[in-house]
Structure 1
Amino acid sequence: MDVMTTADSLHGDPHVDRYLETDGADGYHWNGTEILILFTKGHKSGKPRRHALIFRTWGDDAYLVVASKGGNDAPPAWFRNLEADPNAEVQIKADRFPVRARIAADDEKPAMWDRMLEVWPDYAEYQKKTDRVIPVVVLERA
C-alpha cells in the first residue's frame, strides 16, 4: 500500500521528483518556507544532479541559497558542483531558467545571511556546529 506524504515531510529525491512532477504544487511550500530545484553537473562524474533547496529572492534577478549541509564540516555536494562549474539551472514552480552562481562577497553577506535566517533560523545553529564559514550562494539569472 502506498502511503502519501505531505509536502512538509518530503526530503531528497522524493521531494525533487514530486516538485518536478507537479511544477511545485507539491514541494514548493515546505516547512513554512519555499523551495527551488537546483540543477548542477557532478564535479567528478559530470552527471546531472538535482537538489531541493530553501531560497529567497534577492533584487530583481537573483536567488539566495545557503550551503549549510546542516552544519557539517564538509560543504554539500551541490556547492562543490558549483565551485567546479558555476553555470547551472534553477526551477521555481514551473519556471526553469539558467543561472550563474557566485559566493556572496564579504560586504554583502551579512544582509543576505539575515534574509535567509528570517525563513530558516536553524542556519545560525548550523554555523555554530562547524568551523567552516557557511557561504551564502547567489544564483543570478544568466
Structure 2
Amino acid sequence: MNDPRYKPTKTEIVEAARTLAGLDAAIVRARALGYKIAPPRVVGFCFWAFAELDRKLAERFFDELAHGLNLSQDNPVYHLRERLLSNRRSKAKLPQLELVALFFKAWLAYREGRPLRRLFWKTDGPSPEKFPIIAGGVR
C-alpha cells in the first residue's frame, strides 16, 4: 500500500521480513556497524538496496565504510565515512532522509568509478537537488 498514513500490523511486518530476499544480510550489516557510523535502519536499508543491484560491490562498499582502511581522498566511501563520523560527533544530527541521500550519492559515484572531492545533498536555495535514484526507480 502506498498510503503514507498506512500502518502495517506486526504480522504484516514479520511476513514481509520473511519474504524479502536479502533482508537477512542487510540486518547482519546493520548490526555489525550498529550506531558506530549511522543508524542501523539506514545502514540496513542502504545495504539491502545496493545488494539488490550488485551484491559483491555492495559488500565491498560496506566493508570499506566499516573499516576505512586505505581509502584515497577521492574515494566516495571516504567522503561518506567522514560525513557520517562527523554527524555522529555532532549534537545536531542530519535527518535520516539526508543520510540515505548521501549513501545513495556515494554509491552512485562508487559504482561508476567516479572520484569525489566532496559529498553533499543540497536541499534548499535556488536549485535544490532531487533525491538521488540508484536504479530501476529505487529512490
TM-score, with structure 1 as normaliser? 0.25
More helix by share: 2
More strand by share: 1
TM-score, with structure 2 as normaliser? 0.25
- Between structure 1 and structure 2, the one with the greater Rg is 2
